[in-house]
């Protein structure tokens, strides 16, 4: 009997299909993450996981709101303020949104000046971004205190469906925690940029190689994510 024919060296190997094929292609790719630093890749992975968490929270909120038989509180009335005797709906939320979106602009400029190695402008813009973030958290604390004084609790509220309080405190509290950690991180990195740690290669946490300001961009990725999440919270929670 003749020996079985061996496949030609030029003949392509069989490829898996579906999810297994996708994983195999990416696992064998030598270029996908070749020029991406470890810190930036890990930040993207963290943000992806955080997207799932916020997505679950918003889906839970929509499910609770659509399934309850008790009328849902009207956001225009719940989040209104009395200014000069005039009932102004959502004015505080609009200011909070403007402040947080503005902070994305200052953060983007900080990243730009960071790659130009202009440490003074980079640090100043990061401090301004942190100030915007702290202002947002302060206004959110005022919003919480106002609603708590009006009787809103995680188990009920005076305007309707009891699920309103639990979803409100859970979603806005989780986002506010992210903003608070972002402000702290901004202050730490801004201090290191201001005193020239990335130019002198001073040893310490978050200090990369000399003349390299990539940590500013990584901080910016986190901050832009926090701002983007707020856009969805604003649309689903306050405008719906």
Percent of the chain with pLDDT over 70: 80
Task: Give the pLDDT score at 201.
Answer: 64
- Beta strands in the chain, from DSSP E residues, in sequence order: 81-83, 86-88
**Residue 193's closest CA among 100, 113, 76?**
113
Task: Give the pLDDT score at 138.
Answer: 96
CA torsion sign for 25, 30, 34, 38 is positive
Q: Judge whether residue 233 has pLDDT over 70.
A: yes
107 to 32, 127, 133, 180, 204: CA distances (angstroms): 27, 9, 11, 15, 23
Tell me, which fold does domain 37-238 have in CATH? 1.20.120
Q: How far apart are CA 41 and CA 35, in angstroms?
A: 10
Task: Give the pLDDT score at 219.
Answer: 93
Percent of the chain with pLDDT over 90: 50
- DSSP secondary structure string for all residues of 102-115: HHHHHHHHHHHHHH
The string of pLDDT tens digits covering residues 139-155 is: 999 999 999 998 888 88
Q: Judge whether residue 33 has pLDDT over 90.
A: no
Tokens of residue 136, six digits: 């947002």
The string of pLDDT tens digits covering residues 181-211 is: 999 999 999 998 888 777 776 665 555 555 5
124 confidence band (pLDDT: 50, 70, 90): very high
The string of pLDDT tens digits covering residues 3-28 is: 555 555 455 556 666 777 666 666 65
């Amino acid at each position: 009997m003749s020996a079985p024919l061996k496949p030609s060296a030029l003949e392509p190997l069989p490829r898996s299909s579906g999810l297994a094929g996708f994983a195999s292609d990416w696992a064998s790719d030598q270029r996908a993450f070749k020029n991406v630093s470890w810190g930036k890749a890990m930040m993207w992975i963290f943000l992806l996981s955080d997207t799932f968490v916020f997505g679950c929270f918003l889906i839970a909120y929509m499910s609770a709101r659509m399934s309850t038989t008790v009328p849902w509180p009207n956001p225009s009335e719940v989040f209104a303020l009395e200014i000069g005797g005039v009932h102004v709906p959502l004015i505080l939320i609009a200011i909070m949104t403007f402040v947080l979106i503005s902070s994305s602009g200052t953060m983007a400029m900080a990243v730009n000046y960071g790659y130009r190695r202009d440490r003074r402008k980079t640090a100043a813009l990061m401090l301004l971004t942190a100030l915007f973030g702290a202002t947002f958290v302060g206004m959110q604390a005022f919003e919480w205190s106002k609603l708590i004084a009006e009787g809103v609790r995680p188990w009920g509220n005076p305007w309707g469906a009891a699920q309103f309080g639990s979803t409100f405190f859970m979603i806005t509290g989780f986002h506010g925690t992210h903003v608070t950690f972002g402000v702290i991180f901004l202050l730490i990195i801004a201090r290191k940029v201001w005193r020239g740690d990335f130019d002198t290669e001073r040893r310490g946490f978050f200090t990369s190689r000399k003349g390299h300001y990539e940590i500013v961009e990584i901080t910016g990725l986190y901050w832009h994510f926090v701002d983007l999440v707020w856009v969805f919270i604003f649309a689903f929670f306050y405008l719906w």
